[in-house]
Amino acid sequence: MDLPAFVCAFFAAKNVHLLTAFLCWRSVEVVGVWRECAARGVRMRAAGSCWPLPLPAVGARREGVLLDVHCPHAKVLLDKFFKASVAHAFNHRYSWLLLDTAAAEANGSVDYKVEARSQAMLRFAAVLPDADVVWATPAAAMDVYRVAVGWPLVNTALPSPSAAMWAAWSALPAAAARRRDLAGVRLSAATVVSRPQQFSGWADVSSRAVDTFPKLTYPLMMLLAEDLNFRYDLRQVDAYGEELNGTFGGLAGLLQRGIDIGVASMFMRADRWRALHYAAETIELKGAFIFRQPAQSAVANVFALPFSRGVWAAAGCAACAAGALLAALAALARIAGAPEPALVHITLPDCFTFVMGAICQQGSELAPRLWSLRLVMFCALLSSLFTFTSYAAKVVAILQAPSDALQTIDDLTDSPLALGVQDTTYKKVYFAESEEPATQRLFRRRLAPLGERAYLGVAEGVARVRTGLFAFQVEQGSGYDVISRTFTEREKCGLKEIQAFKLPMVAVPIRRHSGYRDLVASRLRWQREVGLMSRARRLWVAEPPRCGWGGTDAAGVGLRDVMGALHALLAGAAVACALLLAERLAHAVRLSQLRRKRTAPTFEP
């Protein structure tokens, strides 16, 4: 067998970026391997047989390890790797090739003691299903792993160890894909039931908002156990886990302290990566403020909306010009001594009253006989008619058209809507951690002052959305479930959503550097590809409510819609009362002055 050619072909087939070789061969032989690997695009570094280079468990690229088990210090090296099991040198990142050259030296064929020798050398090694370890002799090669720590090694025959078999080695499935039977091993696991007083079973779809993630994940993980032939030693906790002084509680804390896997889905947060890893994503969770789009009258004065500022300014200038022109012409007519009895009543205040009456489509008692005055009054009334017609039509259109007043987080912050947030374990975290200035502003101004009163249950929050001006931040699946059961079709059509922040992906947690991670991940990805995850998602996460309302009846006008007019009436009444009091006071002062003059004594000389 051409040993250098096989070694380099083996690692090239594994797409290895860097090869670390622990050899006791002659320098010329090591150089030969180095040259052969360089020709195949594999970098190689040679280490002394008693100098174990660090093999970090994480990295951007795959690496390979070559070890001749019959070198004098091979057993010492392996023992050092075994004792440093927290480094997890036997994980999915590394492809190991253990060369048993003594078998060829003994009789030139497969040594009948090869399996016994591998069992002895790897007696304490955590070569779990994710590990890619090949024990090779000049005549044969075998795949080596164990189902769990303390279990015997499982040996599987592989293609012949020769460079000519490069195509067969390249077509060989990954280690996790070759190992589908865990022989009934029991893995320690935990799940989360955050509200046990409301929890009524894993299959109870009547309370989908209660512990949605565990309920969705549980059947998938049970199917995974049947698929890979293993069992769970399952325990229950009531929290996903938050970090406190470097350690986690809840499910994250159990994974940090050594259980194998979580039978639940949890957020992929950066702080949790220090304590655990994730096998595969299950769903994408979305949260948003759900509310019924308020009418224009709730966020603005509908009587000020029909015209732009330019139109309002032009209309005001035209009205003022008409009143001023009417007063000026009347003054000139009086100066000229025109025989017009009505000129006495056409003063500047009377002209102002006429202009206001024309704007409001009211007549006037002024009836001058001069054609110039009549023409000014006619043009003022005609222009106000056109303006009023356009104004009234626009007001009606605004009242009948669906509102789009609230479109952004800033609109929501400045709106008159009351705000609430679903009472979840992360209810404050993502508002506080959001990097969006608009979200931070909304939290500080509208939610933080409310304290705990801002956090509501799903049913209570959605009920307030239905009955009043209220926006509720809720997981969309939970909110849709309640909405589909309580809202009418017409009410569903008026719903609007604004996303305040983006939630992380939800995934199945697993122990950090677990030897089952790739195996679990590959089978969960298979469940996603064949539609099993989609089925579970449709069962436990409600779809957005569809608008099925086909009615065309006009929307009624409520008191809020005419509130601007009522405010104007009340303001006018208040000003009129104030003027009345001022007039009475002025009249009383004038009478008092007259009485003093009449009663004052007069002295005749």
Q: What are 268-290's pLDDT values in tens digits? A: 988 898 899 999 999 888 889 99
Phi, psi of 462 (to 5 degrees): -70, -35
Summarize the confidence of residues 535-539 as an average pLDDT: 89
Q: Please give the pLDDT value at position 83.
A: 58
Q: Is the pLDDT of residue 361 over 80?
A: no
Closest to 101 in 3D by CA, of 143, 67, 64? 67
Distance between CA atoms of residues 115 and 69, nearest Å: 13
pLDDT band at 141 (very low <50, low <70, confident <90, very high): confident
Spatial CB neighbours of 291, under 8 Å, sequence gap ≥ 6 = 406, 412, 417, 465, 469, 470, 471, 472, 495, 496, 498
Q: How many helices (H) and strands (E) does the chain have?
A: 22, 20
Q: Does residue 555 carry a pLDDT above 60? A: no
> Taking a C-beta distance cutoff of 8 angstroms, is the pair 143, 97 a contact?
no
Cβ atoms within 10 Å, residue 332: 12
Q: What does the mean pLDDT of the chain come to?
A: 83
Look at residue 558 in the predicted model and tell me its pLDDT: 65
What is residue 76's predicted lDDT score, i.e. its pLDDT?
Answer: 76
Neighbours of 340 (CB within 10 A): 16
How far apart are the C-alpha atoms of 436 and 290, rounded to whole Å?
19
Give the span between the Cα atoms of 164 and 6, in whole angstroms: 8
- Across 362-412, the runs of DSSP E, i.e. the strands, are none
Spatial strand order of the sheet with 418-422 comes to 455-456, 418-422, 470-475, 287-292, 495-498
Q: Which pLDDT band holds residue 557 (cuts at 50, 70, 90)?
A: low
Tell how strand 94-99 and strand 63-68 pair up.
parallel
Distance CA 564, CA 295 (A): 14
231/186 Cα distance (integer angstroms): 5
- Given a cut of 70, whether residue 81 has pLDDT beyond it is no
How many whole angstroms separate alpha carbon 21 and alpha carbon 68?
9
Question: Is the pLDDT reported for residue 405 higher than 70?
Answer: yes
Segment (H or E) for 247: strand 247-248
CA distance 424 to 461: 13
pLDDT, residue 186, reads: 95
Do 250 and 237 meet the contact criterion of CB atoms below 8 Å apart?
Answer: yes
Q: Is the pLDDT of residue 109 over 50?
A: no
Answer with the residue of higher pLDDT: 84 or 323: 323
**Looking up tokens 């070789």, which residue turns up?**
21
Residue 1 — pLDDT band, cuts 50, 70, 90? low
Q: Is the model's pLDDT at 237 over the cut of 90?
A: yes
Does the pLDDT at position 110 exceed 50? no
Q: Please report the pLDDT score of residue 285 as a whole number.
A: 84
pLDDT in tens, 540-552: 888 888 877 655 4
The answer to whether 501 and 439 are in contact (CB under 8 A) is yes
Number of Cβ atoms within 10 Å of the Cβ of 510: 24
| CA gap 543, 478 in Å, rounded | 10
- Mean pLDDT score, 368-382: 80
Q: Residue 236: which H helix or E strand, with range?
A: strand 230-237
On the question of pLDDT at 402 being above 70, the answer is no
Write down the pLDDT at residue 600.
62
| pLDDT score of 182 more than 90 | yes
pLDDT in the model for residue 105: 46
Each as own residue / partner, the long-range contacts of residues 455-458 (CB below 8 Å, 24 or more positions apart, any chain) are 455/420, 455/421, 455/422, 455/423, 455/427, 456/420, 456/421, 456/422, 456/423, 457/422, 457/423, 458/209, 458/422, 458/482
Residue 303's closest CA among 518, 553, 565, 579? 565
pLDDT at 86 over 50: no
- Percentage of residues in the chain with pLDDT exceeding 90? 19
pTM of the full predicted structure? 0.74
In this predicted structure, the answer to whether residue 489 has a pLDDT above a threshold of 50 is yes
Q: What is the pLDDT of residues 28-77, one digit of tens each?
A: 888 999 998 999 889 998 876 555 567 777 777 888 999 888 888 887 77
The closest of 564, 582, 3, 568 to 296, measured between CA atoms, is 564
Q: Which residues contact 574 (CB under 8 A, 6 or more apart)?
A: none
Q: Please name the residue ranges forming H helices in 19-165.
A: 27-39, 74-83, 102-107, 114-121
> How big is the chain by its Cα radius of gyration, in Å?
42
**Is residue 478 a contact partner of residue 422, using CB atoms and an 8 Å limit?**
yes
Report the half-sphere exposure of 242 (CA within 13 A, side-chain side): 7
Closest CA relative to residue 66, chosen from 159, 133, 144: 133
Q: Which helix (H) or strand (E) is 474 found in, with range?
A: strand 470-475
Give the pLDDT confidence of 420-473 residue by residue, as tens digits: 998 887 777 888 888 888 988 999 999 989 888 889 888 899 999 988 789 999
509 pLDDT band, cuts 50/70/90, is very high
Specify the DSSP class assigned to residue 346: -
Q: How far apart are CA 13 and CA 471, in angstroms?
A: 57
pLDDT tops 90 at residue 259? yes
Judge contact between 282 and 507, C-beta under 8 A: yes
The pLDDT of 203-217, averaged and rounded, is 85
- Is the pLDDT reported for residue 168 higher than 60? yes
Three-point CA angle 114, 115, 116, nearest 5° = 90
Note the pLDDT of residue 342: 67
Residue 349 in this model has a pLDDT that exceeds 60: yes
Average the pLDDT over 559-577 and give the result.
81
Kindly state the DSSP code that residue 209 receives in the 8-state scheme: T
Mean pLDDT, residues 501-509: 89
Q: pLDDT digits over 574-605, tens only?
A: 999 999 999 899 888 888 888 887 776 655 55
What mean pLDDT comes out for the span 407-425?
87
Report how far residue 42's alpha carbon sits from residue 21's, in angstroms, rounded to the nearest whole number. 12
Do 500 and 473 meet the contact criterion of CB atoms below 8 Å apart? yes
